[in-house]
Amino acid sequence: MFRKAIVRKPCPNLVAGITTADLGKPDYHRALLQHSLYVEALRQLDLEVIELEADNRFPDSVFVEDVAVCTNDLGVITRPGAASRRDEIGLIEDVIGSHFERVETIKDPATLEGGDVMMVGSTFYVGLSDRTNKLGISQFRSILEKYGYSVIRVPLGEILHLKTGVSYLEDNNLLVSDEMGDLDLFSSFNKILVPADESYAANCIWINGTVLIPAGFPVTKQKIKDAGYKIIELEMTEFEKLDGGLSCLSLRF
């Protein structure tokens, strides 16, 4: 059960965000609209939304998920692997400190981005990616184990973050992209497979029984519905242009 979410408004400089996508530059005003509908959906699901101000120094700062990891009782400030994003942590420390009694920090030279961290009950799956290094995972493990959690490292292929390709929908249901469907690590989950031509839809978020999914992916939408979930569809085109998905836009706890 989630009660709160932290989000940050997109800044005009969003257009300069990091991307590998070939979808053109995001439209700032459209991004603002899509972001406000996202926030509205979170509120509709009874989350208290803490909305942080835009910060034009950091084009990617709307993707708050990467700069912290929130468990039930602990906040971890990360250390982004993307150099242009590293100082974003300075923007999130206060708000994490005000919501968690216990706050820990990933330290240089380790790197870890929240997009690589998937919470499954008291187990955290962490992707080894270009943004999250081995040291990042081992520091994260040492921190989390002190609090009774466990950490499992997941090797990744070409994708940006672990949650670019896989999303936990609770009740042992794992939404997983075609290319990650065969990983032995995930063999005990009920898998909902996202077809290759809908791979962007592998990043969805479960909030208290409802699944937020990006608009425009009918096969995945039907499969999630068939699994018994209520659904809210959200336009995400402007964030997709920056490799960002639904989970990236909030920290939920």
Q: Residue numbers of the site for ligand CIR (CB under 6 A)? A: 17-19, 60, 63, 65-66, 82, 85, 115, 160-161, 164, 242-245, 247-248
In Å, the largest CA–CA distance within the chain is 45
Q: From the CB of 248, what's the least distance to ligand CIR, in Å?
A: 3
- Which of 238, 243 has the CB closer to ligand CIR? 243
- Which of 169, 248 has the CB closer to ligand CIR? 248
- Which of 60, 104 has the CB closer to ligand CIR? 60
Choose the catalytic residue: 11, 70, 204, 248: 248
Q: From the CB of 242, what's the least distance to ligand CIR, in Å?
A: 4
- Which of 164, 199 has the CB closer to ligand CIR? 164
Closest chain position to ligand CIR (CB): 115
Query: How far is the C-alpha of 139 from the C-alpha of 86, rounded, in Å?
Result: 17
Question: Angle at CA 160, nearest 5°, toward 129 and 114?
Answer: 70
Q: From the CB of 148, what's the least distance to ligand CIR, in Å?
A: 25
Q: From the CB of 204, what's the least distance to ligand CIR, in Å?
A: 12
Looking up tokens 């993707």 gives 63
Catalytic (active site) residue 248: yes
- Which of 20, 225 has the CB closer to ligand CIR? 20
Query: How far is the C-alpha of 166 from the C-alpha of 193, rounded, in Å?
Result: 9
Catalytic (active site) residue 204: no
Q: From the CB of 113, what's the least distance to ligand CIR, in Å?
A: 7
Q: From the CB of 200, what's the least distance to ligand CIR, in Å?
A: 11
- Which of 85, 191 has the CB closer to ligand CIR? 85
- The string of DSSP letters for the chain reads ---EEEEE---GGGGG------S-PPPHHHHHHHHHHHHHHHHHTTPEEEEEPP-TT-TTTT-GGGGEEE-SS-EEE-B-SSGGGGGGGGGTHHHHHHH-S-EEE--TT--B-GGGEEEETTEEEEEE-SSS-HHHHHHHHHHHHHTT-EEEEEE--S-SSHHHHEEE-STTEEEEEGGGTT-GGGTTSEEEEEPGGGGGGG--EEETTEEEEETT-HHHHHHHHHTT-EEEEE--HHHHTTT--TGGG-EE-
Choose the catalytic residue: 11, 70, 161, 204: 161
Residues marked active site are found at 161, 248
